[in-house]
Structure 1
Amino acid sequence: MEQKYTWQPILKELSHKILDYRNRQDELLDIGSKALQNVGMNDFSQLQLIDPFTFFGAFMRSGTTENRLHILRDIKDAMGLQSDMPTNFDGLPSLNPMQAWFCYPGSLVDDIDNFWNLFEDALTTDLSIEDNLNRFDKEFRTAHRLRSSKNRISFGLFWIRPDKFFSLDNNSIEYLFEFLDRDSYAKISDQIKSLKHNGSGREYLTFCENMISILNQSNLDLLGYSDQAFADRNSVRYYWLNSNPTIWDVSSKPENSAQDYTKKNEEGNPRRMASAFNAIKEGDQLIGYLSSPQMKVTTLLSCIPSSDDTRVMFRVDKQLSNPVTSDRLKNDGIVNSFYTGVKQGSLFRIRKAEYDEIIKLSKTSGNEDIDTATDFKPYTRDDFLKEVLLSGNELNQLERLLNRKKNLILQGPPGVGKSFIAKRLAKVMLNDKENPADHIKMVQFHQSYGYSNLMLGYVPDAQGFKLQYGVFYHLVQQAIKNPDENYFFLIDEINRGNVSKIFGELLMLIEADKRSPENSVTLMDGSSFYIPENIYLIGTMNTADRGLTRMDYALRRRFSFYTISPAFYSPKFEQILSEDSEAAAHQLVSGLRQLNSDIDKDETLGKDFEIGHSYVMHNGKIATLPYLQDSVVYDIIPQLEEYWQDEPDKAEKYAADLKEEVGLNER
C-alpha cells in the first residue's frame, strides 16, 4: 500500500503544514498562483481569500499527471515540505478544472472560515467526542449548502484522511453497483441519496464507518476501493434487454444483424429506466430476454455506434442454443434477486456477476446430471476415466485425499473442468445402491450467500419470521440417519463467498477428527449438531479470479487442495485430438499451448491463469468449428482482455492470432 500510493507522505505533511497559513492566506494565494502559472493554468489571482480545499484543488484538477506533479513540486519547494515527491496520484478523485474552487470571488468570510474549521476538525479532532461531532456536523452542513462545494466536500476530506472519509465522486458511487450485492447496494444507494439531500455531517460519518466495515469484509480499505473504482470507470457494462415478441422478437434476428431502439416511446416520452438508455455505450454487453409467452433468455447482444443520438443500436452477437428459462433464472442464487425484482421497462443495468452467471446457465440444458430421476445406473471407475481427462492414478489420489481429510478443494485456472470433475468424483465414490440425487447436493457460493442458506436462519413470512433450515443441515441429518452410506456436499466457486461467515461453527466441525457427537455444538434453535464421518465436502476454486479474497487460513488448513491443470498435453487429450480431422481445431490447440506457455512466463500471471482445455471440447470430443469460433470470441478473448487490461496491445495480438487459427481473420 505504501509503495503504490506514493503521494500519502507528502499530502499528509501538506495537510498539517497548510494550517500554519490560515492567517497568512495572501501567502497561500501567492504560492498556489505561481505554481499554476508555471504550467499555464488559471491561477488564484481573482481570489482575496482562500480555503485549504481550494488550495489542494490546484493539483487535484483532472489533467496530465506531469502538470499536477509540477504544481505540487513548486508548492513543496515554496512551503519547505520535506517528504519525497510522489510518482502518481493513484486512488485520488480529481476535480473538473471548471469546478476546482470551493470558494469563489465574493465568498463570505464566514463561509471560508467554515471551510478552515471543517478541514482542521477532520484532520486533527477526535470525532467520537460528542462536542466535536456536533461541531463537525454543523460545519459539514454549512459547506454542503454552498453550491460551490456540495458533495465535492467529500473529495477534499478524502484527500486529507483517506483512512476515514469516503469520497462521493462519480467513479466511487458507480462502482458500488458492481462491488455490492443487490440488497446491500439498494441500502447504500438510499443512504447516498439521503446524504446528497440532507448534507448531514453525522450521517456522512456513519456512512463512512459503514463503508469501512463493508470493505474490510473484502480485505479492502477506502483507498484501495477508490483506486479500483477509478480503474473500473471505462469497463464494459452489462444490461438486460426486454423483448416483447408482439412488437419485436430478438430471438428471430439473425446473428450479426443490427437492431435499433428509440430512447423515447411512441408518445415521445422517455422510456422507463431512461438512465440506462442514456448510459449505455459502445461495447457494452446485453442479455436479450423474451418477455412472453415463454419467458426466457435467448440472445446475446452488444451496443454499437449509432449516428442518431435519439436511439441506441445493438448488434445480435449470438442466438443461444440453450435458452435460459424463467424457472432457472428464478431458482439461481446469483440471478434470482435481479430477476424476481425486475420492473416494467425495456433496458436495465445488471451486474457482471449476473451476466456471467446467465452465460454459464446458457451453456447447459438445465438437466443437471446429479439430480436425475430415481432410475439410475451405478457410476463406475471406467465411466469416470472415460469422461474425465485424468488418469487412474490421479483418481486414486483424489479418493485418498477425500478419505483422509474429508474435505477437498479442486483449484485451477478457468476451463479445466473443476465442477465437472467434482460431480463425477462424488458419483464414483458412491456405493452401487446410492442414488446421486439423494446423496449429492451442490451449491454455489456468492457474495449474498450466507449461513442461513447453508445451515439455518430466520426468514420473513406472513406472520413475521420463521426458522428455515438450509441444504447442508438437511444433508447432515440424512447422513446421520444412514451411517453406512456416503454423502457429498459440493461447493462451486467456494472462494466467492465470505467463507468464515457462511461456515460459522462448521469451521470446527468439518475437521476430520471432529466428526463425532462428542464435538457437538448447540445451534440457535437449541438443538445439538455435529457432522458425521460419512459426509465429504468438495469445493472448486478458480485461481484466475483476481477479484476474490484469499481463502481464510483457518478454513484453508481444513481442506486438501488439488490443482487441476489444462490437459492439452495429456495422453487422453492427445488421443481425442488425433481422432478429429478439423484443421482449425489442431491449429487452435497449438495456439493455446503457446499462449499458456507465455502466460506461465508472464510475471503478473503464471500457471493460475492458463486457458483450460474445456474451451475446445464439447460432449467429450473436440468441438465443432462454429463452437470453437464462439469459444474464442466470447470466452477466451474476454478472459485475455481481463488479464492484460493494462496492456491492450498484447491482448489484441493474442486475440488476432486465435481468430486466425479458427478462420475468423485473414492476414
Structure 2
Amino acid sequence: MSYYKLQKLVFDHLYARHEQDNNFNFSVRRKAFTKGSAKSYFTGTEKSDYITFTFWFLPCYYPGASIEAATFILDKIDKDSFRLYFQFFTTRTPGDEPNEITLALGKEIFKSLGDTKLKIEMNTSDKKMFHLKVSHKEAVPIEGFAPVLDSFIDQLTAIVQPCIKRIKAQFPHWKDGTISKPEFETMIDKLCTKLSIPHPGLPTEATGYWWLNCNPKIWRVEDFVVGQEQNYTSHNKEGNKRNVYKNFGKVKVGDLLIGYESTPSKRVKAILEVTRELHLDDDEGEVFSFKIKEFVTNQADWNQIKSLQELDDCQVLRNNQGSLFDITKAEFQAVYNLCLAPTQRKVSDYSIHEADNDLFIDRSTIEEIVTSLRRKKNIILQGAPGVGKTFFAKRLAFLLMGKKDESRVELIQFHQSYAYEDFIRGFRPNEEGKFTLANGIFYDFCRKAQANPSEDFFFIIDEINRGNLSKIFGELLMLIEADKRGPEFAMHLTYRKENEPRFFVPDNVHIIGTMNTADRSLAMVDYALRRRFAFWNVVPKYEEKFKSFLQQSKVIDAAMAAKIIERLSRLNKTIENDKDLGSGFMVGHSYFCTIPQPNANAENWYREIIEQEIKPLLQEYWYDNQNKATEALKLLSLN
C-alpha cells in the first residue's frame, strides 16, 4: 500500500471516531505543503515513510517548539505493515514555565508506565532532550489496523489523562496547548482546501441538502441536544400545507439540513440530519423526522449568509417565505464552512503573569483560588466594598481559559426581584400579549457550554447574596455540585416542554459569585448553597503593587502614593478593630483605580474621592455615632 493511501486510511478512521464523539479531536498537517508532502494529511513525508499526529487531551504545541510534545507515530515498514509508537519529546533545560511544566508531565507519564506490557524506552539524563518512546511490541498489519490503533490510543489515554490531571493540580494556571473543537474544525477546513478534497463531515453525493427555517416562538434549536430527534410538520397549525410543500415529500434519510432560526435570532444554529422520511404521526399529523447532528461554532447571521457569493442564485435568498428549501451541495458547503470557521475575534493570551500584573493580590493566593475553582467548580469571592471582586472574577475566568475570551463569560447581578423564571425558565409575555415558556439566562448558558464541551465557560453572579438563592436556583442546587455534573445526573426542570430531555449542568461550567460583606441589609447565604461553594475572602491590599499602579499617573509621585497608602491602611485598621464593624467593612482600593489625568492636580483628585465617595460610606457605617465617622475621616487628611 502506498504512503498516501495509508495516510488517507488513518485519516478516515480517526475522523469517523470524531463523528461518533465530537470531543475526539486530532491534529493534521497545518503548514509546509511542499514537494514531498503536497498530498499529506499528517506531518511526515513520503521519503520519511512515517505519519505523526496528536490528540485533544495532549499538550501539542508551545511557542518556540519545533515539534509537538506528545505524538502518536506510524512508521511504515513495508507495503503491508507499520510500527506504532507514542513519543514524548521536550527539552531537559526549559527556559520558560510552559516547557518546565511539559517536562514535569513527561516525567509523570514515565513513572506511570511501570505496570504496562508496552515496550518503553527513554534516553539517558545527560542528553539535551527528554525523549520517551512507548511502542506496540509487534508490527501492525495495514489490513485490519483500526482495532490495533484504537486499542493503543485508548491504552495510552488511560495512562496519560490521570497524569495531566495531577500536573494541572500542581500547576493550576497551566495553558496546555490542547486542540479545541474550533481549532480542530479550522485545521480540517484548511487541510481540505490545501488538498482540494471534500470536507469529510459532508455525506456522499447521493445525499440531499436542505435549508430549514425554525421559528423560535414554536421551538428553539438550543433547547435540544445533539442526537435528539424532532418532528417537523408539513402543515401549519391551521391545517394548511406549508410553502413549497413538495419539498417535504422529497427528503430522504441521511439528508442534511441547515438549521436556521428565524426572527428575532436570524442565525444558523445547527446542522441537522433527516432520520425518517415524510410519514403520519398520531399526534402531529404528516411530519418528517430529523436529529441535531452538531451545533455550529460560528452562528452566522442573515447578513453574513447574504454575503456568500455561492448563494447568489440560492432559492433561500430569492424568497425566504417558507420552511424547507432545496439547496445544492456547493451552497450547503459554503454555509457549512462559514459556520464551522472560528469567529474572527482577536483573543489575547492570558497567563498567571498577566493576572499578577492586573491584580493587587499576591501570586500565591491567585494560584490557590484558581486551584479551588478548578476543583470545586463554584466559588464565592467575598469582601468589603471596593476590593475589586467583580474585576477579580473575570480575571480568574481568563486565567483558567488561558485567554481573554469574553464570549465564554457571562456576567449578571442578582437582586431582590430576581427569580427562578429569570434564571432557569418560566412563563413570560410575548409580543402578542400571551404567555410563553421562555428560557432563562443560565439555562441558555449551560446549553452553549454543552455544545462546546472542550471549552471552559464561566458564569459570574455579582452580588449573589442579594437574591433569594433557594428560590432562584431551585433544583439546580443539586446540579451545580462538582460531583453532580453531566448527563448521568440530569433531571426534569420545574417548567418543561413536551418530550424535552432532562437538564444537566455540564462539567465545563464554572460559577463565580461575588458577595459584599459590608451590606447589613442582606440575609446570610443559606447552608444548602454554602456547602456547594468554596469561599474566599478578598481584602484591600495597600501595598507595593498598589503603589506602583498609582505612580502610572504622571501627577502622583512616590511620596503622594505612599501618603495615600498610609492613610487608607490607618483607616482600615480602625474599621477592623471596631467591634461593630470588622474586616468585612474595610475600604477597598477600587475607589482609587481611576487615576488622574496628566494635567490634573493629584491632591484635588484625592480629596474629591474622600469627600464624595468615602465620607458618605463612613457616615453610613457609623450612622448612630457621627463623632466616630468624623474621627475616621480625619485619618484620611493629607495635612
TM-score tier (shorter): 0.3 to 0.5
Q: With CA pairs under 8 Å and 6+ residues apart, which has the higher RCO, 1 or 2?
A: 2
TM-score by length of 2: 0.43
Whichever structure has more strand as a proportion of its residues is 2
Q: What's the TM-score, normalizing by structure 1?
A: 0.41
- The structure with more helix, counted as a fraction of residues: 1
